[in-house]
Amino acid sequence: MFDPFDENKTPKDKFFEIMFHANRNLVIEELEKVFERLAALEILAEKCYGDKVEEKINEVIFNESEKLEEEEMDFYLHTMSNILTKNE
């Protein structure tokens, strides 16, 4: 059984558990929002950096890995929260 408060699981672990157990329509709706935002960010990145987008992304991955990991965990928690709130 899924326990969102299980301290032995990372936000990423919990996120995927929710994705597999929540209402399919809610998961699809939330994933569509994620990809819409990702596409918008890609457009912004291309406008700001042009042909150097991949280079800049790799710089962030290499130089700001700790901050990137924090943002990832926040993103998992936010998305999971959106799905759980609507799933109740």
Reported as a single tens digit per residue, the pLDDT across 40-70 is: 999 999 999 999 999 999 999 999 999 999 9
The domain limits of the chain are 19-87
Q: Which long-range contacts (CB under 8 A, 24 or more apart) does 51-60 make?
A: none
Asked if the model's pLDDT at residue 4 lies above 70, the reply is no
pLDDT score of 55:
96
Which among 67, 88, 86, 71 is positioned nearest to 26, based on CA atoms? 86
Give the residue-averaged pLDDT of 9-24.
Answer: 92
Predicted confidence at residue 5, as pLDDT, reads 60
